[in-house]
Amino acid sequence: MSWATHDLEPYIIQRHLGRWVSFSAVLIGSWGPDVFTKWFVYGISIGGLELQAGDPSDFHRSWPGAGFTHSLAFGVAVAAVVFLLTRSRMWSLGLMVGIWAHALSDVLDTKGTMLLFPFSTMRIHFDAWAYAGEAGRFLDAAAYFSSLGFAWDGFWLAMVLLNWRVLTLDYFRAEVLPRDPFWKLVGKVFPESAQLVLYRGAFFYGTTRWIAWLIWAHVLHSYAFDLSWGGPFWITGAT
Amino acid sequence: MERAPIGRLIDRKFLAGLAPYLVAGGVYITVGVFVPEALLSWVEGIGFVLLAVWGIPALVRFLRG
């Protein structure tokens, strides 16, 4: 799985496809596949009742399970439903592209995603880093930020920084605000200055947690870096 | 959109706009390192930056009249 990548990719997608997609929809699409699944992967305690998938990685990425959320067809289905309900091309296309970006990013770990579901339940995976969701949130974070996963996040951070204009007020006013009705709704509650902070929020969240997890894993704790393919060596990635 | 040289943007106004994010980022990273649960929720992360960069300054401006 990827971490800050899902927060940062939408800015680059908006930069190139902004005429056709809503940034907000791309961002929600990019977060969507994990919003409905991660809590059950890591486990959650509700009133003393512990809820967790019997096989977290299979639940997250396979079928039977919620792995269909990480497929190209799921993006198309969500887009179709949203288009029928709202008639908004920007929102339906944005959600589809966001979900696709998420599913395509996640093929890089050892578990991979069922990109071609429902036509095939085969998971496509490139094994660049270990899928360690089964080890719990913190060990998962430690493994990811000790492997090529952190470099993948770093690549997307660099991409946004190279395209830093997407974060400016001028860009927000010219390219984001007028094209997406979502911001008109937000504008009924928040002034433009607050809308700009909200727009930059995912960049802030992705960047700061990328830095914080690195410090947590390698300064506060002493997890070994392993930037070899499939790393880190000290954890067995789910397949 | 016309591209301005980066040097033209590194002025007082630009730095003044960047400063609240840097301060908020420093606080969020520090809290996150010692309380990593804070790094797990994008709702809390975006809520924090909205509060730190816009909400608190707006409240201070309001109280000052």
Q: Is residue A226 part of a domain?
A: no
Contact A217, A223 (CB under 8 A): yes
Please tell me the predicted confidence (pLDDT) of residue A196: 97
When pLDDT is cut at 50, 70 and 90, the band that residue A204 belongs to is very high
Q: Is residue A237 part of a domain?
A: no
Residue with more model confidence, B10 or B57 = B57
Q: Is residue A25 part of a domain?
A: yes
pLDDT in tens, B40-63: 899 999 999 999 999 999 999 999
Number of domains in chain A: 1
Q: What percent of chain A has pLDDT over 70?
A: 100
Cβ contact (<8 Å) for B1 and A198? no
Please tell me the predicted confidence (pLDDT) of residue B3: 60
Cβ contact (<8 Å) for B49 and A200? yes
pLDDT (mean) for A81-98: 97
Residue with tokens 């590194």: B10
On the question of pLDDT at A168 being above 70, the answer is yes
Please tell me the predicted confidence (pLDDT) of residue B5: 60
Q: Residue A220: its chain B contacts at CB < 8 A?
A: 33-34
On the question of pLDDT at B2 being above 90, the answer is no
Query: Which residues make Cβ contacts (< 8 Å) with residue A51, sequence separation at least 6?
Result: A40, A43, A44, A45
Contact A112, A61 (CB under 8 A): yes
Of A165, A198, A220, the CB nearest to B46: A198
Q: Which residue of B has its CA nearest to A139?
A: B36
Cβ contact (<8 Å) for A212 and B53? no
Q: Residue A167: its chain B contacts at CB < 8 A?
A: none
What is d(CA A228, CA A147) in angstroms, rounded to the nearest whole number? 7
Q: Residue A212: its chain B contacts at CB < 8 A?
A: 28-29, 32-33, 36, 39
Residue A29 half-sphere exposure toward CB, CA atoms < 13 A: 36
Is the bond leading into B5 cis (omega within 30 degrees of zero)? no
When pLDDT is cut at 50, 70 and 90, the band that residue B15 belongs to is confident
| A213-228 b/e (C-beta count within 10 Å ≥ 16 → b) | bbbbbbeeeebeebee
Residue with more model confidence, B52 or A45 = B52
Looking at residue A53, its amino acid is: A
DSSP string computed for A107-159: GGBSS-B-TTTTT--PPB---SB---GGG-HHHHHHHHTTSHHHHHHHHHHHH
Query: Which residues make Cβ contacts (< 8 Å) with residue A52, sequence separation at least 6?
Result: A40, A41, A42, A43, A44
Least confident of A38-47, A160-169, A173-182, A197-206: A38-47
Of B32, B46, B55, the CB nearest to A201: B46
Please tell me the predicted confidence (pLDDT) of residue A48: 86
Residue with tokens 């029928």: A84
Q: Is residue A227 part of a domain?
A: no
Q: Residue B25: its chain A contacts at CB < 8 A?
A: 204, 207-208, 211
Tokens of A8: 């940062």
Euclidean distance between the first and final Cα of chain B, in Å?
38
| Chain A residues with a Cβ under 8 Å from any Cβ in chain B | 7, 31, 137-138, 141, 165, 169-171, 174-175, 190, 193-194, 197-198, 200-202, 204-205, 207-209, 211-213, 215-216, 219-220
Q: Is residue A193 part of a domain?
A: yes
Q: Is residue A225 part of a domain?
A: no
Complex confidence, ipTM: 0.93
What is d(CA A152, CA B23) in angstroms, rounded to the nearest whole number? 26
On the question of pLDDT at B21 being above 90, the answer is yes
Interface probe with B: pick from A102, A208, A213, most Cβ of B within 10 Å? A208
Residue range of the domain that includes A27: 5-220
Cβ contact (<8 Å) for B29 and A170? no
Nearest to A74 by CA among A129, A43, A36, A24: A36
- Give the closest-approach CA distance of A194 to chain B in angstroms: 6
Q: What is the mean pLDDT of chain A?
A: 96
Interface probe with B: pick from A8, A140, A205, most Cβ of B within 10 Å? A205
Please tell me the predicted confidence (pLDDT) of residue A50: 87
Q: Residue A204: its chain B contacts at CB < 8 A?
A: 21, 24-25, 28, 45-46, 49
